[in-house]
Amino acid sequence: MLKVIGGFVAGIAVVAVLVYNYAGSLMFREIESPFGVEETVARIQQNVQNAGNGWSLSGLRNAAKPIEADGGNVLPVLMIEACSTRYSGPILKDDSLRFLSNLMPCKISVYKKNDGKTYIGLMNAALIGSLFGSKVGGIMEHVAADQAKFIVFDPSKPAPAMIKGTPGAASSGSGAGAAGGC
Amino acid sequence: MNTSNRIFLYKRYERFWHWSQALLVISMLVTGFEVHGTYHLFGFEKAVNLHTIFAWTLLTLWAFTIFWQFTTGEWRQYIPTLKKVDAMVRYYTFGIFRDAPNPFHKTAEKKHNPLQRLAYLALLSMLSPVIWGSGLFYLFYSHWKSWGVDAYLSLEAVALVHTAGAFMMLVFFIAHVYLTTTGHTPLAHIKTMITGWEEAD
Amino acid sequence: MLLRFSSLLSAAAAYVLLAAAPAYATAAAKPEAMIAPQAQAVGKPVSASTADHSKFKELQKNFTSGPQVTEACLVCHTEAAKQVQHTKHWTWESTDPKTGQVRGKKNIINNYCTSPVSNEKDCMACHAGYGWKDDKFDFKVEKNVDCLICHDTTGTYRKLPGYAGHPVLKRVEFPHGSGRFVEPADLKKVAQSIGMPSRSNCGSCHFFGAGGNGAKHGDLDSSLQHPGKYLDVHMDEKGLNFTCVTCHATSSHQVSGSRYNVAAVVEGPAHIRGKKDESPASCQSCHSDKPHHDKMGMLNQHTDKLACQTCHIPQYARNEIGTEASWDWSLATTMGPDGKPMVRKDSAGRRAFDSKKGTWVWDSYVIPEYRWYNGVSTYKVIGDKIDPSKTVQINEVGGGPNDPDSRIWPLKVHRGKQPYDKVNNYLTVQHTAGEDHTALWHNYDWQKAIGAGMKAAKLPYSGEYGFVDTEMTWPITHMVAPKHDALSCAQCHSKNGRLQGIEGVYLPSRDNNKWLDMFGWTLVLLSLIGVLVHGSLRIYTSKKKG
């Protein structure tokens, strides 16, 4: 009997360790881009704009800039912020789910690493959504499906221009997100 | 416990020396093989810094120990002998499996069996010059030119010798740890090295 | 204001040769911002200079040409023109002291704009002189030395392509058809406001090489006009605020430091004032060859193999301006879908294609390539034979691991594809700029352009051209990062690190001896097996007994 319980506990411990080790990498995904940083950003932005389902760009953030302003260097990191009112609306309407606004807007980061290559970092929206019940899980599944389309590139098409800043917002502030579509 | 068959083998300094040296050697193996590129643990930079600090610590420990060996006369423990070497070899290859008695009896005057004496002397006179010599040349790479040795040495050769030494040290470590279990109980030798008291069988 | 990717120059604006390039950081767009820092420092109360040029009667004239100003300068500075005439800024020629090879812009064919020969009227916008429009230019005429391009502090003195080095003296639309206008300089005011060269003086040419901001060097672009600490620890506008000539110390107009003769190795202590200094533009002249604090003494052990730049310039072109990674001329003369010349930009707004010039690939925050380098580059000069079956090295960097005068250097490698004579096997000189019927950018005819270029270069042309892959290497030495941004140990001391391709040096953690490792680990494994077998036997035999 003791052996059975011991084995059970040991099994749980092993699973816990595995989850602890891999949970992080399950929640996020990193893929190599065939293009440079700017072109990757521009092509994702174009895909977001063509995605339908209420998607629009709500901003482009350069996380490396504040570090430069502080006098230090970091390789470029650009964060594309995209939002779909179709998916954000139901979540934001529900008082018990409003805290999930922390995950908004959806972010896709594009960055360079020391190997000189460009990478795309994505959140695993479906998995994270599934942690918050069926309603959120259902919505996030759609988000994940759309997100997968954002990173499908057609190299035969010419590189579009990168869209800088927050579209439709002259200055940042509380109105900026609204102007950006969310 | 019958106190009459307990003998006091290792004095306080000796035990301090042994265990601190053991810790340093293990740490140097761990950091050294990281510098060699075998695995990632601390990161290269930290591994190099730790390895260097441990090296100087161990050298300092040795300076005190050499002083101690000569002032106490304990250095005589390392005078090699071939007497009973064959008996020891036979014991470890056959006798130990047949419960034969260990042909060597430790006394405060003779702490090490003849095989041990040979092994420690080899360690001291062959392995340690290889490791320390190559290690110090490695460490003082930028002085090669001013010492006038840059024409005769290459970092690669020095690194290879040092790595070879590390492998030998690792082999010694494995054998040494295993042989501690060959006392009358598997932990007897380790207990002795901690308390200083040997329970004679 | 999330992003400042607004810094990208249009292909046309790339021609703007004086500091007021319109499209980089907004602060720099105003001409006032171009005034040299020194000029501001030399404020009203007490002048740092012993001479106030606005009081000189030689300069109280309404000058109508550049040479007139120079004549006025030479009244007092009698030897200045002769000095300048001994510099590369004037001759566009440089002789390697070690190999004796005569190089310089005049003699080599690079893989950007290729050669100024036959294109002098445009290219000589960056010549420190007036009137070099063809091979008949007289290099002895002193009044043709341009003093103002280096000494103007107003930022209003500009030289544009098409004028053979003469400044803009009447309002002109530039680039043609852009709707933007360049105002003429008031030569009297400029002559009265001269000073030491500022970053914008040097930058007016050196930031815009290859016809675009940052295009050529990568470690030099207009962001160095007002750099932050992250970009250049020495030039940091709020910190040390070095100008170019702080390091490129100049005597008798001879500017120190050149990529043609690189001081790849400088040994010994930091140089002291007053001592004759062979290479004042090197890092070591201030920092010595043991620059790191004793606490980090191990870093000093690296100076016998590495150039300082290798660790301290972890990337170059560290801004959105970027630099050209490649230039493919073979697609030039390709027209747009409507049959007319077209221009296309990349996602960051940088030139990507131009029917006149072909295609470019740009990159920012570029990881350098690393090679052994002894400071000697052997160039392909006009007429040198090439092997078109291989990538042609425009310049071959000398040195190697066993050469005590070599260090591992960071380099920009610029890849090109450019025309060559298929029969004579040499790179061709082409007539690109101009309004005549043979100019490539006017008539889009390679055959005529090469014919005219080769004639000007006095080289036979077989009439058959092809395109060959070329590589040109540029030692990286500017944009020195703050110390905490230097490469960390493991970026080289690891497998697949920065120096993976560097041979001839044992790099702990990257390198090992395969045989020693195999032998060593086998021995370790055997001893483990040995003790395990021995131990098991002991347990087995003791159990059997009871």
Residue A176 touches partner C, C-beta closer than 8 Å: no
- What is the span of the domain harbouring residue B18? 3-199
Cβ–Cβ gap A61/C2 under 8 Å: yes
| Distance to chain B for C126, nearest Cα, Å | 45
The SS3 of residue A109 is strand
Mean pLDDT of B162-186: 94
Q: What is the CATH number of the domain that holds B37?
A: 1.20.950.20
pLDDT band at B201 (very low <50, low <70, confident <90, very high): low
Report CB contact under 8 Å: C347, A61. no
Predicted pLDDT at B200: 65
Chain C interface, mutation test: which of B42, B97, B162, B181, most C Cβ atoms within 10 Å? B97
Instruction: List CB contacts of A161: < 8 A, sequence separation 6 or more.
Output: A42, C345, C347, C349
Residue C491 has phi, psi (to 5 degrees) of: -70, -20
Residue B38: band (very low, low, confident or very high) from pLDDT cuts 50, 70, 90: very high
The answer to whether residue C230 neighbours chain A at the CB level (below 8 Å) is yes
What are C510's two structure tokens? 């990257």
Lowest-confidence region among A63-72, B46-55, C76-85 = A63-72
Name the residue of chain C whose CA is nearest to B49's CA: C298
Confidence (pLDDT) at C260: 87
Shortest Cα–Cα distance, C524 to chain B (Å): 6
Residues of chain C scoring pLDDT < 50: 1-43
Interface check for A168 against chain C (CB to CB < 8 A): the answer is: no
Residue C6 in contact with partner chain A when CB distance is under 8 A:
yes
How do residues A88-147 score in pLDDT, each as one tens digit? 999 999 999 999 998 889 999 999 999 999 999 999 988 888 888 888 999 999 999 999
Sequential DSSP letters for C351-394: EEEETTTEEEEEESSBPPEEEEE-SBEEE-BTT-B--TTS-EES
Q: How many helices (H) and strands (E) does chain A have?
A: 7, 5
CA distance readout (Å), C236 to A179, B41, C94, C233, C480: 37, 37, 31, 5, 10
Check if C493 contacts A (Cβ < 8 Å): no
- Which residue, among C3, C323, C369, C413, would best test binding to A if mutated, counting the most A CBs under 10 Å from its CB? C3
Per-residue pLDDT at C275? 78
Q: Which of residues 55-74 of A touch C (CB under 8 A)?
A: 59-62, 65, 67-73
In the 3-class helix/strand/coil scheme, how is chain B assigned residue by residue? Answer: CCHHHEEECCCHHHHHHHHHHHHHHHHHHHHHHHHHCCCCCCCHHHHHHHHHHHHHHHHHHHHHHHHHHHHHCHHHHHCCCCCCHHHHHHHHHCHHHHCCCCCCCCCCCCCCCHHHHHHHHHHHHHHHHHHHHHHHHHHCHHHHHHHCCCCCCCHHHHHHHHHHHHHHHHHHHHHHHHHHHHCCCCCHHHHHHHHCEEECC
For residue A175, pLDDT over 50 is answered with: no
Å from A181 to nearest chain C CA?
Answer: 17
Rounded to whole angstroms, how far apart are CA atoms C44 and C435?
A: 48
Does A76 contact C482 at a Cβ distance shorter than 8 Å?
no
pLDDT in tens, A22-57: 877 888 999 999 999 999 999 999 999 999 999 999
C4 touches chain A (CB under 8 A): yes
* Residues on chain C touching A109 (C-beta within 8 angstroms): none
How many C-beta atoms lie closer than 10 Å to residue B185's C-beta? 11
Query: What domain count does chain B have?
Result: 1
Q: Mind spelling out the 3-state secondary structure of C402-451?
A: CCCCCEEEEEEEEEEEEEEECCCCEECCCCCCCCCCCCHHHHCCHHHHHH
A157 touches chain C (CB under 8 A): no
Contact between A158 and C229 using a beta-carbon 8 Å cutoff: no
| Closest C-alpha to C123, from C344, C444, C429 | C429
C121 in Cβ contact with C162 (< 8 Å) = yes
Q: What domains lie within chain A, and their CATH numbers?
A: 28-155 (3.30.310.70)
Q: Tell me, what's the pLDDT at C13?
A: 39
